Amino acid sequence: NDPFFDILEDIIFKPLTSGYPAQSWKPYVNPVSFLVEGKLNIARAELPDSGLLKLWIPLPVQTGSQFNVRIIEISPSKYVNLPVRTDGDMGLAYVEIPLGELAHDLLVTVKFSFSCYQQQFIINPDRVGNYDQQDWLYRKYTHTGDNIVVSQNIRTTAEQITAGENNPYYQAKKIYQYIIDNIYYSHVPHLRLAALGFPEAEYVHQNHFGDCGAQSIYFCSLCRSIGIPARTTGGYQLVPGVEGCHFWAEFYLPNYGWIPVDVTVAESSDWTDKISRSQRDIFQQYFFGNLDPYRMVIQKDVDVVLNPLPDEEVIFTMAIQYPAAVCSTCDQDIGFIVVENWNFSFYPIYH
What digits encode the pLDDT tens for the residues 65-106?
Answer: 999 999 999 999 999 999 999 999 999 999 999 999 999 999
Burial of residue 126, with CB atoms counted within 10 A of its CB: 0-12 exposed, 13-18 middle, 19 or more buried: exposed
Domain residue limits, the chain: 3-28+118-298, 31-117+306-349
- How does pLDDT run across 164-209, given as a tens digit for each residue? 999 999 999 999 999 999 999 999 999 999 999 999 999 999 999 9
3-state secondary structure of 192: helix
Give the pLDDT of residue 274.
Answer: 85
| pTM, entire model | 0.95
Strand order in the sheet with 244-253: 257-261, 244-253, 230-237, 295-299
How large a percentage of the chain has pLDDT more than 90? Answer: 88
Give the pLDDT of residue 41.
Answer: 99
- How does pLDDT run across 308-337, given as a tens digit for each residue? 999 999 989 999 999 999 999 999 999 999
Q: Are 8 and 239 in contact (CB under 8 A)?
A: yes
Give the span between the Cα atoms of 206 and 101, in whole angstroms.
50
CATH number for 3-28+118-298 (one of 3.10.620.30, 3.40.1440.60, 3.40.50.150, 2.60.40.1180): it is 3.10.620.30
Find the mean pLDDT for residues 138-151: 98
Find the mean pLDDT for residues 108-136: 97
Q: Which amino acid is at 338?
A: V
Give the pLDDT of residue 66.
Answer: 98
* H helical segments located in the chain: 3-12, 136-140, 152-161, 168-182, 190-196, 200-207, 212-225, 263-267, 277-286, 334-340
